[in-house]
A = this chain, B = another copy of it.
Amino acid sequence: MTGPRYTRLAQSLPSTVPFVGPETQERAMGHPFKARLGANENIFGPSPKAIAALTSADPDIWMYGDPESHDLRHALAAFHDVDPANIVVGEGIDGLLGYLARLIVEDGDAVVTSDGAYPTFNYHVAGFGGVLHKVPYAQDHEDIGALLAKAAEVDAKLVYLANPDNPMGSHHRGADIVAALDAIPDGCLLVLDEAYVELAPEGTQAEYDIEDPRVIRMRTFSKAYGMAGARVGYAMGARDLITSFDKIRNHFGMNRSAQGAALAALSDQAWLADTCHKVALSRDAIAKIAQDNGLTALPSATNFVAIDRGRDGPYAKSILDGLVARGIFVRMPFVAPQNRCIRVSCGPAEEMTKFADALPQVLAALD
């Protein structure tokens, strides 16, 4: 009586997870967090129209979602002025990154990313046997030139760039990304993760022909639109590439209510603009709290702020642990030198006050 025969790759993979969820920490602590500022969720929440769409769809949950996500895809196409065939909707950017890795990466294929960038991308690449090559951040920015140079050096099939970046919150101008397109090596695809781009300054979105075969861009309803729990993301790119997702994706994988809620959220751009305004105010509030405590807030184009005390990773970790112990869920970068910072998500004044109350206690206990 023997067990199943796993693939060689599956045997070689670790059973690790990219992130431990806050619920896991809460269960370990035995009490809930007072403020949930660690996962860059949007505490301001989604448009009331999105919530209304959810509620009106609740009794229809007996029906499968439309496997084509037709209505949402067409609305997104109109919004972005591309063809619906240039868009695939999926189970969050995480799900889409997994599909993309599956389409492109096989055993030993080279993939380039920044050291300390999104671990879930790395998880998917490794999960399909890819070999990750990492380049350092430059002044807390992902280093476009170094990424593309490394991609050429290792003959990479994918190169990952988040703009704005997570976990540092930095960004590049869209024009700088467009200028770099010609430096992408032949046969390498730029994965442009724009999860936070709605929250970034004017000019951050790269403007290029959507049929350009060298780039795929990813967007989400999890961040600015405030619907992380719904699992709705989308990728935009050349038709050939987007059509390829249909070869492998879980066609009936989308939650039906989430499809409708995303459509409603997209239609409420006034709410989105208001959210961006609130997030900007919250970034300022976090910066003020940092300053009041002798720390430095890095400039952010996202709904989170990296806070620097100019010391090392273990020290930042001790700040993080102190905050967590006081009921403030935050996270921090994984890799030096970015891990000198902690990362705090934006939120309403009530959350900011809890953070502001806890931080000096934590620092006092450390010093």
Which chain A residues have a beta carbon within 8 Å of chain B's beta carbons? 1-10, 13-19, 21, 23-24, 27, 36, 39, 41-46, 50-51, 54-55, 57-68, 70, 91-92, 94-95, 98, 102-106, 120, 127, 157-158, 186-189, 212-214, 222, 226-231, 238, 240-241, 243-244, 246-248, 250-258, 261
Q: Take A213-B1, A247-B15 as given contacts and tell me if A61 and B67 are in contact as well, using a CB distance cutoff of 8 Å.
A: no
Q: Take A1-B213, A226-B62 as given contacts and tell me if A68 and B21 are in contact as well, using a CB distance cutoff of 8 Å.
A: yes
Closest to A257 in B: B229
**Which of B2, B55, B253 touches A186 (beta carbons < 8 Å)?**
B2
CB pair A10–B227 under 8 Å, yes or no, is no
Provide the residues of chain B in CB contact with A7, threshold 8 Å.
Answer: 102-106
Complex Cα gap A17–B244 (Å) = 12
With A2-B214, A24-B68 given, name 18 new contacts (CB 8 A). A1-B214, A2-B187, A2-B213, A4-B241, A10-B248, A17-B67, A17-B246, A18-B251, A19-B252, A41-B64, A51-B61, A54-B54, A64-B222, A94-B253, A98-B250, A120-B252, A228-B256, A229-B257
Complex Cα gap A8–B14 (Å) = 25
State the oligomeric state as a number of copies.
Answer: 2
Provide the residues of chain B in CB contact with A253, threshold 8 Å.
Answer: 91-92, 94-95, 231
Distance in Å: Cβ of A15 to nearest Cβ of chain B: 5
Closest to A98 in B: B250
Provide the residues of chain B in CB contact with A189, threshold 8 Å.
Answer: 3-4
